[in-house]
């Protein structure tokens, strides 16, 4: 499974756009890029998944360049409730999703 | 969709005791996963069920750990002769069983071994 590298922590203010970049230099052809969000004392929650170019849903956007060696999670106009840990994962579904979580990025949103 | 339910939410036990956790997945999900998470770290994969069959186990799952999913619905994770190093959040997740799917996690069981 491809290893990912992302910043340990980030700070932002309410209303700002936050971009969290993840590098995955060894990503394989069949790998997808997935982001999960985790609040304290809760399990991770799926945010978004993509293979290439741009994916957008009601929560976030995911930008993936052509070489797919990195990806950027974009959170528009963050609020205090977006304070959480964000995990970037790369996985191939070899029959099941054996997700390998790193330490994630701790995002702190301040007033 | 009532989500993945885990019980108990918290468990405090003494070293050497046995503990059992329960996970009730989303009803139509045939895949069920157990993960373990320690403070400041991401979740680590422990084991995976496809219906009632346990198809993969991590090396993290020592012989003191056993997981079951007897009828392909709820699952239990038992830890025998607990050690202080077993203290962690134990997370259960379930999924539909399709390619590149998303996992739905429960809120976990926080185990403290004294």
Tens of pLDDT, residue by residue over A3-54, are 899 999 999 999 999 999 999 998 988 889 999 999 999 999 999 999 999 9
> Once rounded to an integer, what is the mean pLDDT over residues A62-80?
96
Q: A44 to chain B nearest CA, in Å?
A: 6
Chain A residues with CB-CB distance to B under 8 A? 32, 34, 41-46, 49, 87, 91, 93, 95-104
Write the CA distances from A107 to A8, A40, A84, A110, B50, integer angstroms: 9, 12, 6, 10, 34
Backbone angles phi, psi at B85, to 5 degrees: -70, -10
User: Do the Cβ atoms of B59 and B45 come closer than 8 Å?
Assistant: no
Q: What is the pLDDT of residue B101?
A: 81
Tens of pLDDT, residue by residue over B56-101, are 899 888 899 999 999 889 999 999 999 999 999 999 999 988 777 8
Asked if the Cβ–Cβ distance from B107 to A42 is below 8 Å, we say yes
**Cα gap A106→A16, rounded to integer Å:** 16
Contacts of A103 in chain B (CB under 8 A): 40-42
Cβ neighbourhood burial of B102 (10 Å; 0-12, 13-18, 19+): middle
Q: What is the pLDDT of residue A102?
A: 86
User: Do the Cβ atoms of A9 and A110 come closer than 8 Å?
Assistant: no
Kindly report the CA angle at A47 between A40 and A10, in degrees rounded to 5?
A: 55
């Amino acid at each position: 499974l491809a290893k990912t590298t992302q910043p340990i922590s980030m700070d932002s203010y309410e209303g700002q756009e936050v971009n969290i970049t993840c590098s995955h230099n060894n990503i394989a052809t069949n790998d997808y890029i997935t982001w999960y969000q985790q609040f304290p004392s809760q399990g991770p929650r799926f945010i978004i998944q993509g293979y290439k170019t741009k994916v957008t849903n009601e929560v976030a956007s995911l930008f993936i360049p052509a070489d797919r060696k990195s990806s950027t999670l974009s959170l528009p106009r963050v609020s205090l409730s977006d304070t959480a840990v964000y995990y970037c994962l790369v996985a191939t579904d070899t029959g099941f999703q054996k997700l390998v979580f790193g330490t994630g990025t701790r995002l702190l949103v301040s007033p | 969709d009532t989500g993945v339910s885990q019980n108990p939410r918290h468990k405090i036990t003494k070293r050497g005791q046995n503990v059992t956790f329960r996970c009730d997945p989303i009803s139509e999900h045939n895949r069920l996963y157990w993960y373990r998470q320690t403070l400041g770290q991401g979740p680590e994969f422990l084991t995976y069920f496809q219906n009632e069959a346990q198809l993969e186990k991590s090396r993290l799952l020592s012989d003191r750990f056993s997981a079951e999913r007897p009828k392909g619905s709820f699952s239990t994770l038992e830890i025998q002769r607990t050690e202080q190093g077993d203290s962690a959040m134990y997370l259960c997740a379930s999924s539909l069983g399709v390619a590149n799917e998303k996992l739905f996690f429960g809120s976990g069981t926080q185990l403290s071994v004294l």
